[in-house]
Structure 1
Amino acid sequence: MFEGFHHVALIVSDYAVSREFYVETLGCGVIAETFREERQSWKLDLNVPGGGSLELFSFPNPSDRPSRPEACGLRHLAFRVANLDTVVAHLQSRGVSVENVRVDALTGARFTFFADPDGLPLELYEVVEN
């Protein structure tokens, strides 16, 4: 059946701002960047450190999609991290607002949330190997 996770596609409101955020702030690598003339749309394929990929799309005048409070659809995108404190400090040094760190009552793992430039909730989930 499935062999693994491949990618998540995101439509962004400001291509340049989102490109800078995902590449420079989050450290995703650029796989391919294409301007699609017929759609007046950018498509950016990104490699997520540790596996998987993201696709960023820009379209003229994209419609809003509600994500809060608890609308149907994508709730958040979570990234596995080895050291939550280090990643939080990096994000804060880049001007990203990060929520207080919490502890998952079910797993005991530490996690926190921040948002991308369009307000998409992103989670950092610290995985400690035993």
Structure 2
Amino acid sequence: MARIEHVALFAADPHALKDFYVEALGLRVILDNSKASPPGYFLADDAGVAVELIGRPTEVPAVDTRHVCHIAFIVDDVAAARADLEARGLTFEDDTAVDNETMTTAFFRDPEGNRLQIVKRPRPLVS
């Protein structure tokens, strides 16, 4: 069974957008990547639902959804989940797969073309 882990959004000004979500909606910063390139933040509500804000690089058009604008689902086994989804006819982006000490992840598109991600982390992003 998969559960939604986070939703990611591009932000022209991730610092200001982070402030809006914190001040207007009561989310809290759970991961500060403000010094990364591009900068960003993970925010969460009290139920553990997370929003990832990613600074949009100036060379990336606002409509590019290659690395953002996705829904991420927590799975117990990325390889098994991927095999099941591929058996359903879905195709994965091999060049965006990550398998390191912080996470294992893979991206694909749903039947309508929406970008989705399966992810497993050794430590939950939101606790």
Shorter-chain TM-score: what band? 0.3 to 0.5
Higher strand share: 2
The two structures have a TM-score, normalised by structure 1, of 0.43
The two structures have a TM-score, normalised by structure 2, of 0.44
The answer to which structure, 1 or 2, has the higher relative contact order (CA under 8 A, 6+ apart) is 2
Larger radius of gyration: 1
